[in-house]
Amino acid sequence: MIYDLIIIGGGPAGISAGIYAARKKIKTLLITKEWGGQMLKAPDIQNWPGEKSISGVDLMKKMVEHLKKFEIEIKENKEVIDLEKKDKNFSVRDNDQQYEAKTVIIATGKIPRTLNIPGEEEFKGRGVSICSTCDAPLFKNKEVAVVGGGNVGFDTALDLSKYAKKIYILEFSELMRGDPATKEKLEKTKKVEFHTNVAVKEIKGSKFVEEVVYEDRKTSKDHELKVQGVFIAIGMVAKAEFAGDLVELNEIGEIKVDRNNNTKTLGLFAAGDITDVKYEQIVIAASEGAKSALAVVDYLKKT
């Protein structure tokens, strides 16, 4: 069996592509590890046109429900690990099966960047978090470290300041990178301590996080902070390794596409945050998904 289209990813770009493809009645398979992607982290979205105020989780549910009204095959909880082009068609392999398709849309979005230090993986869900909007209330009257002094780190600290007793922001470079206006707000809470020029080395604990170890990059000396939580806020990263040479990446790992969602390989399209389209917004990702599915329909007609 050869699909007309395989969509990889279940965020707004992938779901919207699926809706458009299914309505055009092309034989489509959508493979995703999870639904919703980054929008799950948003507690209150006010810029999805037509919805005054909605949580990311609810918007995701509405989109998935919409998608499932149509005739489309879906594989959930599956991660694509390999994509190849064989003659005219594409071969897509997930951790379970192999599929064949005439066209592919990559819409896997971005995932949070990791520190790759001891303890990070081990204490995930036991003090280590990447989502302050999800987990901040768990740290009421506790001391926490936020790794990353950019806007993501500042926003994380701001979320935490409503609950936590003390917040350490640990920034690798010489200066805090986030907006001065947000920094001012943080200073006003009198709960935040800013540390620059630090390299976080290890997260320690027994059952839960108990301390974070960092090196002062000026003195090369190690320091320890007693904390119950570590929030990693060093941004997002695009992971498109599974596509190998079929796509060209920019310097930060995003897939290069033209304005019509074409990658460098004929029949292979990409949409949403995984691409080098600058704006990471739900409405824009959904639009990119729609555009790419319609481009697929045009492509199939021509070939």
Partner 1 sequence: MKIYDLIVIGAGPAGITAGIYAKNFGLNCLIIGEKQGGLINAAYKVENYPGIFNISGKELSKKFTAHQRYLKIPLKKERVEKIERGKIFKIISDKNQYQSRTIILAFGTETKKLDIENIKKFEGKGVSYQAGDNAFLVKNKIVAVVGGANSAVMSAIMLAEEAKKVYLIYRRDKLRADAIWVNKIKKLKNVKIIYKANILVLKGKNKLEEIILDNGRKLKIDNLLIEVGGVVNTFLLRDLGLEINESGYIRVNSAQATNIPGVFAAGDITTSSNKFRQIITAAAEGAIAVLGVYNYLNKK
Residues annotated as part of the active site: 131, 134-135
**48 is a site residue for partner 1 (CB under 8 A):** yes
Q: Contact with partner 1 (CB under 8 A): which of 43, 53, 77, 250?
A: 53
Give dist(CA 274, CA 289) in Å, integer. Answer: 12
- By beta-carbon proximity to partner 1, the closer residue of 67 and 147 is 67
Exactly one of 5, 6, 8, 15 binds partner 1 (CB under 8 A); that residue is 15
Question: Is residue 51 close enough to count as binding partner 1 by CB under 8 A?
Answer: yes
Which of 260, 256, 237, 240 is closest to 248 using CA atoms?
Answer: 256
Smallest separation, CB 188 to partner 1 (Å): 20
**171 lines the binding site for partner 1 (CB under 8 A):** no
Nearer to partner 1, 15 or 104 (CB): 15
Write out the two tokens for 4: 């007309």
- Residues 172-191 interacting with partner 1 (rule: CB under 8 A): none
Q: Which two tokens stand for residue 210?
A: 């108990």
Nearest CB to partner 1, comparing residues 228 and 261: 261
Nearest distance in Å: CB 280, partner 1:
11
Decide: is 294 part of the binding site for partner 1 (CB under 8 A): yes
Sequence letter at residue 60: M
d(CA 284, CA 301): 26
Query: Residue 260 interacts with partner 1 (CB under 8 A)?
Result: yes
Residues 6+ apart with CB under 8 A from 128: 119, 120, 203, 209, 229, 230, 232
Region of 205 (left: φ > 0; alpha: ψ -120 to 50; beta: rest) is left
Q: Which of 52, 86, 190, 207 binds partner 1 (CB under 8 A)?
A: 52
Out of 80, 167, 238, 286, the residue judged to bind partner 1 by CB under 8 A = 286
Question: What does the alpha-carbon distance between residue 300 and residue 303 come to, in Å, rounded to a whole number?
Answer: 5
The DSSP symbol for 126 reads T
Place of tokens 């001891």: 118
Residues 99 and 113 sit within 8 Å (Cβ to Cβ): no
Residues lying near partner 1 in the complex (CB under 8 A): 12, 15-16, 19-20, 23-25, 46-53, 59, 62-63, 65-66, 69, 259-260, 277, 279, 281, 283-284, 286-291, 294-295
